[in-house]
A and B are shown apart, each in its own frame.
Chain A
Amino acid sequence: GAGVSQSPSNKVTEKGKDVELRCDPISGHTALYWYRQSLGQGLEFLIYFQGNSAPDKSGLPSDRFSAERTGGSVSTLTIQRTQQEDSAVYLCASSLSDVHEQYFGPGTRLTVT
């Protein structure tokens, strides 16, 4: 079946603009995760959803970051008033539940100029 998909694959935006990143998880996966990866670094946890609720938002770097998930499926990560330090690859993953292995999408490379 289809894997996790993310859009756009690349996004270049000007500092101060808002951006929306989208994630389509594998059908039937109840858990969905957002991570950020800077060049040559590991993954930084941002937020995860179990169904439509987010039990842990502690990884969001600032109040400029928000995420939502509707219908237990698609999720969007929104970054308001982007800053240059927001430039990174944003990865989404999904899993059957929060104690199962995660399947990753290809990521969105965000560049803030």
Chain B
Amino acid sequence: SQQGEEDPQALSIQEGENATMNCSYKTSINNLQWYRQNSGRGLVHLILIRSNEREKHSGRLRVTLDTSKKSSSLLITASRAADTASYFCATAPYTNAGKSTFGDGTTLTVKP
């Protein structure tokens, strides 16, 4: 099974609301990354958080990491229709950091 698993699988909210997505993983990690994929093929890197960090911010994005629970969350505040996309977490294992494992993603729909 996938190392990183996102929850929920799908999320639908109104513009202006906050969206929270969660990621759980199984083994020790070097870092955890969040990506966005719009319909189409390209993935865009959002935030990388290292195992010794607990929280990172980037604009309207906030990522938390709880290594004791092996989980991370991505919060998008004041969502916009343009935030509609699939969001993936990827975990880089502690002992083999190059072998990133992606979950199946959370599909976020932001209604105008």
Interface residues of A (CB under 8 A from B): 31, 33, 35, 37, 41-45, 48, 50, 55-56, 58-59, 89, 91, 93, 98-107, 109
With both chains docked as a complex, state the minimum distance between the C-beta of B83 and any C-beta of chain A, in angstroms: 19
In the bound complex, CA of A93 to CA of B43 (Å):
9
Q: Is the CB of A42 within 8 A of B98?
A: no
**Distance to closest chain B CB from A7 (angstroms):** 13
Tally of A-B Cβ pairs under 8 angstroms: 64
Add 16 more A-B contacts to A43-B90, A101-B48 (CB < 8 A): A42-B88, A43-B43, A44-B102, A48-B100, A56-B96, A56-B99, A58-B99, A91-B43, A98-B92, A99-B30, A102-B100, A103-B45, A104-B35, A104-B42, A105-B42, A107-B41
| Max chain B Cβ within 10 angstroms of own Cβ: one of A31, A43, A103, A106 | A43
In the complex, the answer to whether B42 meets A107 with C-beta atoms within 8 Å is yes
Count contacts on B: residues with CB < 8 A to the other chain. Answer: 25
